[in-house]
Structure 1
Amino acid sequence: MKRVVIGLSGGVDSSVAAYLLKEQGYEVIGLFMKNWHDDSVTISDECPWLEDSNDAMLVADKLGIPFQTVDLSEEYKSRIVDYMFHEYEKGRTPNPDVLCNREIKFDVFMKIALNLGADFVATGHYCRKGRIEKNGKTHYQLLAGVDANKDQSYFLCQLSQSQLKKSLFPIGALTKPEVRDIATKLDLITAEKKDSQGLCFIGKVKLPDFLQQQLKPKEGFIVEISKESDLYKTEIPNFKTEEDKLHFLSKKTEYQLEAGKIIGKHQGAHYYTKGQRRGLGVGGHVEPLFIIDTNVDDNIIYTGEGKDHPGLLKKALFIANDELHWVREDLSLHLGETMEVQARIRYRQPLQKATLHKVETGLYVAFEAFQSAMAEGQFVAWYIKDELIGSGVIS
């Protein structure tokens, strides 16, 4: 019997995944990851991980599989939380879920599982794993989940071939209603449990509340930039090369205080992110106000009225070489090469037609249609059909 260690989170997805593995004849061990107990940062009045770990234990008991809790809070703090604070301080917007998968579940957790003699590590993600032989070599594929509404391949966009090789995704071919149905028939305690919201594996916390406990409040101006601003009337030059054009299309607009009008005050530019519309507390506009940029050095938030504001829209983005990742290394581009793909810049965004252009310093992703609120620090992932083949951090 092959041994599988599954991350039991106390939710319905991992519960059903554990059951399916057992049905398939694996020897299954359930591990619950405890990722937070730092009293200097209050997460919430409740203690969500205790409830989750209790649910995970009851599921393991019901399924008749061994269960234990592993404390990864030290690694979680250094690899995820500290990184997030550092990124927000720089005015970037990290994605904790993508990082949690790359750094914790499929690295720290995977090493623990392999030390327990596991052949594979399993999770309750809605995605699938494929494998193909090419020139005598095996390549593992990260495929979208069958349930388009729940597909979580984007969150795994930083996985490597060695991580995929050892991974299993038992529920990737099911829809969420089918998963709940199985859990109900088995009378699992998690059958009706709501999907967890908030930070990956930390629980019921809203990101701004979490950030405010580490990044101190600092009053600054909210500035509105008009759609008609001269900043958006730049004449498009004649480009000598395609790279010059891509550089122009992906270039960040530089805003100054004088370019707009002061319409309010905020408590710290590092709490906000591009594309955000809630939490500004400024009224008197026909259309909603969106954040079009933040300047953490000058502590200014720049906003624009309406979702079609030119400050929100861009057709290209850049990824530096050190933040570029290929899940399928055999498909990676060489200098001067291009590739037609479908890409997304956030979870659940419908896939968009795009072309990748490899240049000396990194990779440009040029979209066919304008994209809204490309935030530095977020991940862009690209696909061929339903296979996620690479990703990178938006520079």
Structure 2
Amino acid sequence: MKRVVVGLSGGVDSSIAAYLLKEQGYDVIGLFMKNWHDESVTISSECPWLEDSNDALLVAEKLGIPFQTIDLSEQYKEKIVDYMFNEYEKGRTPNPDVLCNREIKFDVFMKIALSLGADYVATGHYCRKGEIEVDGKPVYQLLAGKDGNKDQSYFLCQLAQEQLAKALFPIGALTKPEVREIATRMELVTAEKKDSQGLCFIGKVRLPEFLQQQLQPKEGFIYEIPASCEKYQQKLPTFNSKEEALQFEATPIQYTPADGKKVGTHQGAHYYTIGQRKGLNVGGTKEPLFIIATDIATNAIYTGQGHLHLGLYRRTLRVQPSEVHWIRQDLRLENGQTLEVRARIRYRQELQKATLYQFESGLYVQFDEPQSAITEGQFVAWNIGEELVGSGVIS
């Protein structure tokens, strides 16, 4: 009997992951990760981790599997929270969920599980694992979940072969309704529980308030850039190479206050992200304002009216050489090579047709259609068919 440690989060997905593994004859252990101590930033009087760990315990008792809580809050603070503050301070927008999987669940947590004699670690992610042979060696694939509406492979886009080798995703072939149906049949306490929407494992946190703990408010101006801005009418320069053209396309427009008009004030450019609409508190425009750029150096925010504003769209993005990550090392591009893929720049975005171009200066992802709100610090992930083969941090 192979031993599997399941990350029981107190939600329905991980509950059913544990149930299915037990049905398949594995020796299952449930572990709950406590990743947060600081009650001062979780919203409302409810203490989400206590409630969640209780539910996880009840599920483990019902399934008859051993259970314990492990405290990873120190590692979480160091690897996720500090990183987030750091990124926001630089004007980038990190994705804590992707990081949490790479640094916590499939690293710190996995090491603890293996030290308990586990052969595998299982989570309640909606994705699947495949295995093929390349040059006589096993190669693991990260495949989309069968429930197109819930596919979570994007959140695992930074995993490596060694991590996938030890991972199991028991619910990847099920849909959410099927998962709830099993939980109801089993009379599990988590059957009707809502999906958690907070930061990965921290629970219900309002991001601006969370960030204000470390990043001091600093008043600045909000500018509105008209659709008629000259910078959108500029003629394209002549390029000597494809790389030069891509570099140009991947560079965001730099705005100055002179390009638009002052429409309001804000509490700090580092609290805001591109594509954001809420929280600006500027009224009186025909269409809602969207953030099209932030400038940390001058503490300015630039906005445009409507979701079709030209300032929101770009066709190309760049990933720095050190931040290109291939799950499928055998598909890695050499300098000068290209690859047609389908890519996304955020969770739940429809996959978009794109071409990868690898140069010494980095990897360029050029989409067939311009994309809205390409945001520095977020992850771009690319697929071949239903397999996610690589990813990188948008620079």
How far 1:53 sits from its partner (Å)?
A: 0.1
Residue in structure 2 matched with residue 183 of structure 1 by the alignment: 183
SS in 1 for 2:311: coil
> Is 1:330 matched with 2:330?
yes
How far 1:45 sits from its partner (Å)?
A: 2.3
* CA distance in 2 between partners of 1:393 and 1:289 (Å): 26
Is the contact between residue 57 and residue 67 of structure 2 (CA under 8 Å) also seen in structure 1?
yes
TM-score normalised over the length of structure 1: 0.99
> Is 1:102 matched with 2:93?
no
Residue in structure 2 matched with residue 305 of structure 1 by the alignment: 305
Q: Which moved more, 1:79-88 or 1:282-291?
A: 282-291
How far 1:338 sits from its partner (Å)?
A: 0.2
* CA distance in 2 between partners of 1:206 and 1:120 (Å): 34
Is the contact between residue 43 and residue 210 of structure 1 (CA under 8 Å) also seen in structure 2?
no
> Is 1:144 matched with 2:151?
no
SS in 1 for 2:363: strand
User: Can you list the C-alpha shifts for 1:34-63, whole angstroms capped at 9, x where unaligned?
Assistant: 000035645542110000000000000000
1:1-395 equivalence runs, <5 A: 1-38=1-38, 41-395=41-395
Aligned partner of 1:197: which letter?
Answer: Q
How far 1:288 sits from its partner (Å)?
A: 1.2
* CA distance in 1 between partners of 2:44 and 2:330 (Å): 45
Is the contact between residue 127 and residue 169 of structure 1 (CA under 8 Å) also seen in structure 2?
yes
* CA distance in 2 between partners of 1:217 and 1:48 (Å): 27
* CA distance in 1 between partners of 2:94 and 2:151 (Å): 20
* CA distance in 1 between partners of 2:383 and 2:208 (Å): 31
Aligned partner of 2:34: which letter?
Answer: K
Aligned partner of 2:6: which letter?
Answer: I
SS in 2 for 1:170: coil
Question: Can you give the 5+ residue segments of structure 1 that lack an aligned partner in the other structure?
Answer: none
* CA distance in 2 between partners of 1:361 and 1:165 (Å): 31
SS in 2 for 1:9: coil
Is the contact between residue 198 and residue 207 of structure 1 (CA under 8 Å) also seen in structure 2?
no
* CA distance in 1 between partners of 2:41 and 2:205 (Å): 11
* CA distance in 2 between partners of 1:44 and 1:73 (Å): 20
Is the contact between residue 16 and residue 179 of structure 2 (CA under 8 Å) also seen in structure 1?
yes
Q: Which moved more, 1:251-260 or 1:21-30?
A: 251-260
Of all paired residues, the percent bearing the same amino acid is 72
SS in 1 for 2:239: coil
User: Can you list the C-alpha shifts for 1:258-277, whole angstroms capped at 9, x where unaligned?
Assistant: 21110000111111000000
Aligned partner of 2:37: which letter?
Answer: H
Q: Which moved more, 1:214-223 or 1:72-81?
A: 214-223
Q: Which runs of 4+ in 1 moved over 6 A?
A: none
Aligned partner of 1:284: which letter?
Answer: G
Superposed CA RMSD in Å reads 0.9
Aligned partner of 2:323: which letter?
Answer: E
SS in 2 for 1:391: strand
Question: Can you give the 5+ residue segments of structure 2 that lack an aligned partner in the other structure?
Answer: none
* CA distance in 2 between partners of 1:394 and 1:316 (Å): 10
SS in 2 for 1:22: helix
Aligned partner of 1:100: which letter?
Answer: C
Aligned partner of 1:159: which letter?
Answer: L
Aligned partner of 1:189: which letter?
Answer: V
TM-score normalised over the length of structure 2: 0.99
User: Can you list the C-alpha shifts for 1:104-154, whole angstroms capped at 9, x where unaligned?
Assistant: 000000000000000000000000000001210111000000000000000
